[in-house]
Structure 1
Amino acid sequence: MSGRLTSPVLVGRERERAALAAALTAARSGAAVVLVGGEAGMGKTRLVREFTGGLGASARVLTGGCTDLGVDGLPFGPFVTALRRLVRELDAPPVTALLPSGGRRGLARLLPELGVADDEPEPDLGRARLFEEVLLLLEGAARQRSLVLVLEDLHWADRSTGELLTFLATNLGEPGVLILGTYRPDEIGGTHPLRPLVSRVDSVRGISLGGLDRDGVAEQLGELLAAPADEAFTERVFLRSGGNPLFVEALVTVGDAPAASLSDLLLADVDRLPDLSRQVLHAAAVAASPVGHALLAILVEMDDLAFEDALRPLVRRRFLDVVEDGYAFRRDLIREAVYGSLLPGERVRLHRACAEAITTDPALVSGDRAYAEVALHWHASGAPIRAAEAAWHAAESARRTYAYAEQHRLLDRVLRTWQRVPDLADRLGVDRGTVASLAAEAALNAGELDTGVASVTTALAEHPDPEVAAHLLRTRAAMYDRNGQDPMPDLHEAVRLLPTGADTPLRGEVLADLAIAQRHHQHDAEARTTAEDALRIGQRTGDRGVQARALITLAAADADLPTAVELFERARTAARDAGAADTQLAVAVTESNRLEAAGEHGRAEQVARSGITLARELGLTRTRGTLLAPNLSESLLSLGRWDEAEAVYREALAQSPPPLYRAYLQIIQATVDLRRGALDAATTAATQARAVMREPNRGEETCLEPDLLDCRLAQIRQDAGAVTAILDHVLTDHDLARSPRYSWPLLTTGALTLVGHHGTGALLTRMSTYADTLAVTGRLQQAHRLTFLAATRHDDTDAWAAAIEAWRDLGQPYPLAEALLHSTRAALATQHRSTAAELITEAASIAEGLGAAPLQREIQQLATRARITTNPTRPGNPAGLTTREMEVLELVVAGLSNRKIGEHLFISAKTAGVHVSNILAKLTVTTRLEAAAWAHRNQLFKTE
């Protein structure tokens, strides 16, 4: 039978095309990611191309594809191809205008068209910046018109491509971007880079292509044959093909000839090609697709006319498609079948020819593919020395583009070759220890921690020189730390190996790392000593980065807040001088945390916001910026600005932060939810956070935070038994003296819940014993101490007055309302009824403003029992305004905004706005000015 090799129309995919159209419509309101999955031959690429081909000028379409090169593939390959096309379409100047520093800090490493890339001393930070710049570029380009980014054959994606795609899928927020990917589900194993997208990312939609039904096969046959096929032939093709469109095409060609597999079907058509055309197809199958015209001509060694004659049948019959300056297989399955049919000697010869040609002229392949492809071809041709040399250069190319997973695998290949080639050090010009150190750093930066630990351990067993060993130990310590294991033994051993009298940069770096680890584990005295040594070495060597990190530790460990703030400023300056952006952000994280712990909530908020602004300027909003979100939201929570805190943590959680920082955010989320009375939501967030924060070696403070949250949940539920169990566990299993920041609120929460409950006397005595010896640093811990003392002294109204004044001075409305409530009980017990009325009225007002439903209920229950009205109307108030509304009106008359009213009354701006709206309605006026005039007419407030 004769007929068309490919159907001129796409058949049987109307529902899938409609799904793609719907995804693009949705993307115009908010970015979307769609993965089209189907086994080989199902027409994934055809579907996507038919869809994008019909968009015309309504959307800009960028396409890039993965190639079957494995570890030797170009990192970020499909993105490089697509973004390079975008730069050509938009021109470089408009593109650089969309990026911080014109893209020179990140994206220029992938796209030299943007200019010479800046040096980046912090590799992990550089990768984060690169990801954000890709995100900014896509979102910026989509503002002009919708942008469709097509990434084909993602089952062959390198690790870096998979991680960048996952980042985009979880962080794209601006409208107008649609990412379409195609992949084969049966090739996505548990460790595949695409696995997180396929199985876990909620923002990704999936389209699954199955086989055509019988009517679809009949329609496809009609298009291929240019006439309806008879029923019997249609039935045979349908049964043999299983509805796979590529099988259908192949069966039209071979008719009823027997075929054992799809490869046999595809090769049957290949066998009908002229000899020279088959020779060209064999060479193209060995070269990475797409293959340039010039490279393919060298491989087949034909004169120009013969080469062109051999190419025509391949292009005409759609074995190869013409793409830019070369050719690509129309179907990857055809390339796989042709490659699989080659004789072993033929493969080796063609791989060697590819390697030699590209080595002689790297311009034969596009972009930065030369080293990667040479490494592949030498490896496949069985030339280990040449393969190792190429892998060494390819690894450096991968490092420059932050493709650390690929760098690690290439360096691992070099190290494995070393065992067979003793003189490899002379050939590469580098010793094995250096390669092992670079491989360890690459594994660390790639997050391949278990593999990296094993590699370092193997390298250390070979007894390298002390400095190399110290470097390896420092890297392994960082891996342990990220895995939640104790890094200090490796750091101590690294310090021991380095000469005490030699103030080298490496010794300074190791000591700075050790000081941070010691502080994290609350070994404050040791941390200070180690940090002072690191600072001294940093000053002698002129290493401003080491100085900055040592100063951060010293500031965090200093009990005197003014001194700590001065040290933080010195650290900030040193980090800026060193060009260490990550360390600058670390200053903001640590200082805002230190200020919050000291009760300086407003100053902590300012520092955290400044850090987030810096992250934005550095192009790191969605990565490093999320490290500051827990600190900012915690300060807003303390200040009673719960709506703002919620907005911060929800935005940060939507950006998929690392597990520990997600846990910090969930602790705050749970605290807001429990105080508002959403106990189920609070319990869910607490459970998720607890799973991470109670892992071994997280440090005393991190372990105590879930205990404090559990205690507060039990307090809200008025579950004295649960509070008793938690406090007993804490007092037995933790050293509270190492973490007063969380120990004091634990003791306070326990005392407020347990005092007066039967059978808790012994536990309260233990708590008081601990409290007598527990350090008090700063106004916040002092407020907790005063509250604890007041709670344990029962009806001591003077003690409660001191606690109330402390919380009022700090500006923390929620614990102030709690103290007012408990002081009310003391006043009632001592027959001070008028004082009790004043106290509980203020408590009710604060709780209402915060929206603290459980606390409001507790206050109202006490007020009802005591027959006190907590929300009276002011005497002589003609409009029936409540006491809180009168307070708000007085501030409106003073000209304050909703934000300022909220800060003054410890309520959110949103709640203040609700009060203002209610006031306007009751007064039957429409503006704040009219409300102020009404107040003046009625002489509600004294004026001087």
Structure 2
Amino acid sequence: MSYPHGILDGVTTRARNTAFVGRDAEIAGLREALKRVRTDEPAMVLVGGEAGVGKTRLIEEFRRHGGGARFLTGQCLELGEEGLPYAPFAGILRELVRAEGVAVLDGHEAEFARLLPELGAVSHDADRGVLFDRVATLLTRLAADRPLVVVLEDLHWADRSTRDLIEFLVRGARTARVLMICTYRTDELHRGHPLRAFVAELDRARGVERLDLGRLDRDGTAEILASIFGGEPAQRSIDKVHMRAQGNPFFVEELAASGDPMACADIPESLRDLLLARVDRLPESAQPVLRIAAAGGNRIGHDLLATVAGLPETALDTALRAAVAAQLLVADSDGGYEFRHALVREAVHDDLLPGEHARLHARYAAAIEADPTLVAAGRAPAETAHHWYAAHDHPRALVTSRAAAVAAGERYAHAEQARLLERVLDLWEQIPDAGERLGLDHLTLLEETMVATYTAGDFKRSLSLNRAALAAVDQSVEPLRAARLLTRRGKLLGSLGKSDGTHELREAVVLAETATDDAARAQLLADIAYQISRIDRAEGARIASLARAAAESLGDVAAAVNATLTLGRVCSRLVAGEIGLAELREAEERARSIGDVEQLVHAQVNISDALFEVGDYAGSAKTAAAGTRDAAKVGVDRSSGAFLRSNHAEALVALGRWDEAEAICAESARFDPPGHLGLHWLQIRANLRLARGDASAPEVIGRALAFLRRPYVSAQHRLPLLVLQVEAALSVGDAAAAASAAHGGLSASDLIGNPRYTWPLLAVSARAAVAADDAGLRSSIEALAAELECLYPADRAYAAQTHASFAAAPPGSAVAGARAAGSAVEVPGGSLGAGSAAPGGSLGAGSTALGWARWVRVRPRQVARWVRVRPWQRRAPQAPRAWGRRLAPRRDLVSLGPRCQASAAHRRRQPPRGGVGRPRLRRGGPTASPTRSLARWWRSPRRWPRWATGRPRARRSKRPARWRPTSTPGRCVTRWPGWPAGSGCAGPWEPGPTCSPPASARCCGWWRWGTATAGSPPSSTYRRKRSACTSPASSPSSRSRIGSKRQQSPTGSGCSAPT
């Protein structure tokens, strides 16, 4: 299913809203009233709300789920000051006679003829009391078999007789098993309206309730638009429609029917006539005042309105009182007035004559310039600029718009700043001496606007302005400015998916390195280093080192912080997570100490990502949440805030808090991040909905995979999308499509350099290879896994998952083993990777370790530690059952749903050892539990019954726990990149050669290694050692398995461990 990006584009026909949105509490209240009626207790509900808010739709939805009740509906009519007598009851009676004949009146046609003249002559002896009694008797008789719901709509138009009859039925007759629902418009009730007193009287009667329907929130507006157009609209379209309609469902539908994608078109004529009809009913003296107020905006202070109107106080008060009584204006507690609805103000303002429009706005601008206190604090520059521009005074509008843009930037109101600077650009061509008036050149204005639009999230417009600025700059005269523009262009091209920006960034490096050494150059080098590190980590580290050295020599702390962030980001993968985190923490503290919130947010983005990578998911979530709050302070919600929210959601998924992650994704959708900034959260949401078997999963997956059609997608975005593509194919049982997608993904050239994102692709591709029985795909996976670095806990978990798939050891046996052991295991419905599981069923064979870990809320490194499928186990016929034995008991050691929440109390954190703390599960807890007993049972193999092992019980090995002999060739336990061919450590085990690092290898002291030969354990097992570190470290693994190679730092990378 394709994603309707421009959902309102080209729509010219009126569409019907089929969604019932945001009224769950009101429906519940009506159902509760009907429940009381079924117990012979009379009830009445008064439903109030403004026109178009959805009163009739509420009744229709209640009727559709009425539970067998009978519904009769009557309508009040607008016929002058007093409506038609008994109009709603006459409509109900006519409906009954038409359906059941006059027999339903039980021979009282003469009395009912006062309501329906066609029944015959009116009885002259019957007074009004008899008629009321006959109506009550009729309703009671109709409710004898089943509950009766009487709906009286538009009670604000009811006449005195109708109101008297309603009061008699509520207070006097007390008809049992009858629910009466009356609707009325609150915006029609002026101060002297008779319904005000009537409703107040009824409200005191027993059994009478009031429901006030409010306007919908933004989510409600989005649901209505999605229902009308068959898909989720663009977020900015939702914002525009909601801002104008202000949550009124009728206005939302009318604006959607206008067909404008950004909801900026004129109000539809039918809606405009409807809005202005109420204005025309005002006294002649009040209409000009309302037009003056409309020119001032949605809200206007009394003093400002009085200054612009220039009327005597008595005349102004009389006019305003009439507008307030007509529910067009609302007086607020701050001494001002606000239009009850924004569309009313818009309609009145658009109805102004051209000369009247210009004069009013000029008077507002002059009044605010003379006394800025007439508007809210800080709003004077923007208000003055708006009114001079609306008055068509372009010279004044130019100067004031520029000043307002500067003030908006100081308040971090980047969207407003960008809009004002765009206005300045438009006015520049119309004013010959614009540069002299503003004191800057056109190129500087272009660059300011480019930065503002980028920060506001309008990447496409920013790229257009960048192109114009590059065409105007002279690289030989201003190399630093040209380099800055090229750096921005490279970043924009990558963010929009047009290219990787390599050409622009490398050209910027050449220009920046030849420029004069100053603070601007140091800051620019730091920016270039951060961008180019996405493409070439070593080059990014080199440039960052230059930037930090230059910044430190100049005393530019901000540039030094930026460079340190880049070094931390690069070193977290090139050396070790602990070293990279140390650099990032240092940058965070320095940014905090100088009060640079933007750099602080930048640091929090990278720290949350690095913590996730090393397996500290709780720390990642905490850092990302704090960073999101800081991002809101400086107005970067749509840029850095987008990264932080997606990092937060990713960590919550890893912690098993899926509902919270879904809420974070929904928040990200509301901000509508531009370009590739909106991809990460979308990919997370797609994975969540796929795993849960959500009905909306195909649409969300389609929207995410649409990014693959762009010319360029970075590896950190493209590889997770390929994982999603293979998972989606496996979830529907299309093994051929999954294998085809896996083949395409594994053909990329940047897999080796991105192990964090390649390992998940290998794991899911392994499942696809097994499902499709594709030997070629399997050999490709094994070859790539042999070369791929396995540095962090998640990498090792995915490596174990890849092993498990090829070993044909499905975790479904874990469920069987746990159930056989008497453990309460519930498999949630939905998709677990490629395998699907029905509630209470077993997992599919395609599901593997990491998918199982997601369900049991366990960290990947714990899976890597618990599930060690060694070669002798893979070759044994009991391998699947052994896999089940290893995972099943751990299934209950972690929290999964309400039934396992108690076991979460037994998780304890040990103090960190060395750099980053690594939480581990510890035994014990405040009380004994079946979970604890099961854990002890699992740790005691001698207690395992024969049915649980599938083979005779054997004595435990005396050999070291981390090594087992094997009679078949295996891989060397240490693999050092860059070793010369024939060194003895590149092929199978052979007696004699040792596996020790070459003389040129360097170690930073984190690990110590021995040698290993075939047929014997390593001469010394590896161990942690704390010592000074002066060069990058090598960290080969001590076990023979896929992913055993550790990352090495290339010589001259610029990364160094802290001493």
TM-score after normalising by structure 2? 0.50
Tell me if structure 2 keeps the 8 A contact 1:505–1:541.
yes
Letter in 1 for 2:619: V
Deviates more, 1:767-776 or 1:714-723: 714-723
For the pair 1:208 / 2:250, whether they are aligned, the reply is yes
Shift in CA distance, 500/827, structure 1 to aligned 2, threshold 3 Å: same
Q: Residue 587 of structure 1 is aligned with which of 577, 585, 603? A: 603
For the pair 1:424 / 2:434, whether they are aligned, the reply is yes
Tell me if structure 2 keeps the 8 A contact 1:649–1:665.
no
Tell me if structure 1 keeps the 8 A contact 2:53–2:214.
no
Letter in 2 for 1:697: Y
Alignment of 1:429-440 (within 5 A): 429-440=439-450
Name 2:665's counterpart in structure 1: 653
Name 1:445's counterpart in structure 2: 455
Name 1:571's counterpart in structure 2: 587
Q: Residue 886 of structure 2 is aligned with which of 821, 832, 842? A: 842
Shift in CA distance, 487/708, structure 1 to aligned 2, threshold 3 Å: same
State the Cα distance separating 1:899 from its structure 2 match: 3.0
Letter in 1 for 2:662: R
State the Cα distance separating 1:539 from its structure 2 match: 1.8
Instruction: Write the distance in 2 (CA, Å) between the matches of 1:445 and 1:625.
Output: 11
Q: Residue 195 of structure 1 is aligned with which of 197, 215, 238? A: 238
Tell me if structure 2 keeps the 8 A contact 1:820–1:842.
no
Letter in 1 for 2:540: A
Letter in 1 for 2:739: T
- Largest Rg, 1 or 2: 2
Shift in CA distance, 690/750, structure 1 to aligned 2, threshold 3 Å: same
Alignment of 1:290-369 (within 5 A): 308=314, 312=318, 315=321, 323=331, 348-369=358-379
Instruction: Write the distance in 2 (CA, Å) between the matches of 1:682 and 1:346.
Output: 54
Alignment of 1:466-505 (within 5 A): 466=478, 467-485=480-498, 486-498=500-512, 500-505=514-519
Question: Secondary structure of the equivalent of 1:208?
Answer: helix
Tell me if structure 1 keeps the 8 A contact 2:592–2:600.
yes
For the pair 1:532 / 2:532, whether they are aligned, the reply is no
Deviates more, 1:331-340 or 1:509-518: 331-340
State the Cα distance separating 1:445 from its structure 2 match: 2.3
Tell me if structure 2 keeps the 8 A contact 1:166–1:197.
no
Name 1:826's counterpart in structure 2: 875
Instruction: Write the distance in 2 (CA, Å) between the matches of 1:529 and 1:478.
Output: 19
Unaligned runs of 5+ in 2: 1-19, 31-48, 55-77, 79-153, 157-182, 198-211, 254-268, 810-847, 911-918, 936-1059
Letter in 1 for 2:414: Y
Instruction: Write the distance in 1 (CA, Å) between the matches of 2:868 and 2:699.
Output: 28
State the Cα distance separating 1:611 from its structure 2 match: 0.8
Deviates more, 1:729-738 or 1:323-332: 323-332
Provide, for residues 551-595 of structure 1, a one-character-per-residue CA deviation record: whole Å limited to 9, x for no partner.
Answer: 232223222214323322322223223423444344344345445
Instruction: Write the distance in 2 (CA, Å) between the matches of 1:704 and 1:387.
Output: 49
Write 1 or 2 for the structure with the bigger share of helix.
1
Provide, for residues 800-856 of structure 1, a one-character-per-residue CA deviation record: whole Å limited to 9, x for no partner.
Answer: xxx99xx9999645567775499655112xxxx6x9865542344345767999xxx
Shift in CA distance, 822/724, structure 1 to aligned 2, threshold 3 Å: farther
Shift in CA distance, 342/718, structure 1 to aligned 2, threshold 3 Å: closer
Letter in 2 for 1:741: R
Tell me if structure 1 keeps the 8 A contact 2:241–2:252.
no
Alignment of 1:347-746 (within 5 A): 348-463=358-473, 466=478, 467-485=480-498, 486-498=500-512, 500-521=514-535, 523-558=536-571, 559-561=574-576, 562-594=578-610, 596-597=612-613, 600-601=614-615, 604-612=616-624, 614-615=626-627, 618=630, 627-628=643-644, 631=647, 644-656=656-668, 664=680, 686-692=701-707, 695-711=710-726, 721-746=736-761
Letter in 1 for 2:416: E
Provide, for residues 238-295 of structure 1, a one-character-per-residue CA deviation record: whole Å limited to 9, x for no partner.
Answer: xx99998777768xxxxxxxxxxxxxx679x64xx5xxx9987776665557666665
Deviates more, 1:486-495 or 1:413-422: 486-495
Name 1:934's counterpart in structure 2: none
Name 1:233's counterpart in structure 2: none
Instruction: Write the distance in 1 (CA, Å) between the matches of 2:345 and 2:895.
Output: 65
Task: Tell me the number of residue pairs that the alignment of Structure 1 and Structure 2 aligns.
Answer: 660
Tell me if structure 2 keeps the 8 A contact 1:813–1:906.
no
Tell me if structure 1 keeps the 8 A contact 2:604–2:627.
no
Shift in CA distance, 852/48, structure 1 to aligned 2, threshold 3 Å: same
Instruction: Write the distance in 2 (CA, Å) between the matches of 1:503 and 1:197.
Output: 47
State the Cα distance separating 1:666 from its structure 2 match: 6.3
Shift in CA distance, 549/764, structure 1 to aligned 2, threshold 3 Å: same
Instruction: Write the distance in 2 (CA, Å) between the matches of 1:632 and 1:281.
Output: 48
State the Cα distance separating 1:531 from its structure 2 match: 1.8
Instruction: Write the distance in 1 (CA, Å) between the matches of 2:782 and 2:252.
Output: 69
Provide, for residues 11-39 of structure 1, a one-character-per-residue CA deviation record: whole Å limited to 9, x for no partner.
Answer: xxxxx9x979949999xxxxxxx997589
Instruction: Write the distance in 2 (CA, Å) between the matches of 1:898 and 1:636.
Output: 20
Alignment of 1:36-115 (within 5 A): 47=186
Tell me if structure 2 keeps the 8 A contact 1:351–1:378.
yes
State the Cα distance separating 1:298 from its structure 2 match: 5.7
Instruction: Write the distance in 1 (CA, Å) between the matches of 2:349 and 2:883.
Output: 85
Provide, for residues 857-898 of structure 1, a one-character-per-residue CA deviation record: whole Å limited to 9, x for no partner.
Answer: xxxxxxxxxxxxxxxxxxxxxxxxxxxx9xx9xx99xxx943
Tell me if structure 2 keeps the 8 A contact 1:349–1:381.
yes
Tell me if structure 2 keeps the 8 A contact 1:850–1:906.
no
Q: Percent identity?
A: 25
Provide, for residues 193-248 of structure 1, a one-character-per-residue CA deviation record: whole Å limited to 9, x for no partner.
Answer: 663475899xx97543799xxxxxxxxxxxxxxxxxxxxxxxxxxxx999987777
Shift in CA distance, 168/670, structure 1 to aligned 2, threshold 3 Å: closer
Tell me if structure 1 keeps the 8 A contact 2:924–2:932.
no
Shift in CA distance, 462/422, structure 1 to aligned 2, threshold 3 Å: farther
Provide, for residues 582-616 of structure 1, a one-character-per-residue CA deviation record: whole Å limited to 9, x for no partner.
Answer: 4434434434544554xx42xx2353144146337
Letter in 1 for 2:581: V
Instruction: Write the distance in 2 (CA, Å) between the matches of 1:645 and 1:341.
Output: 53
Instruction: Write the distance in 2 (CA, Å) between the matches of 1:327 and 1:837.
Output: 75
Name 2:1015's counterpart in structure 1: none
Shift in CA distance, 468/48, structure 1 to aligned 2, threshold 3 Å: farther
Question: Secondary structure of the equivalent of 1:502?
Answer: coil
Shift in CA distance, 566/45, structure 1 to aligned 2, threshold 3 Å: farther
Unaligned runs of 5+ in 1: 1-15, 27-33, 57-147, 155-164, 171-180, 212-239, 251-264, 796-802, 854-884, 920-944
Instruction: Write the distance in 1 (CA, Å) between the matches of 2:742 and 2:352.
Output: 72
State the Cα distance separating 1:432 from its structure 2 match: 3.0
Letter in 2 for 1:195: I
Question: Secondary structure of the equivalent of 2:533?
Answer: helix
Instruction: Write the distance in 1 (CA, Å) between the matches of 2:309 and 2:412.
Output: 36
Deviates more, 1:665-674 or 1:404-413: 665-674
Name 2:979's counterpart in structure 1: none
Tell me if structure 2 keeps the 8 A contact 1:630–1:661.
no
Name 1:102's counterpart in structure 2: none
State the Cα distance separating 1:791 from its structure 2 match: 7.9
Provide, for residues 613-660 of structure 1, a one-character-per-residue CA deviation record: whole Å limited to 9, x for no partner.
Answer: 63377485998787456556656776xx5xx34254234224235666
Instruction: Write the distance in 2 (CA, Å) between the matches of 1:662 and 1:774.
Output: 29
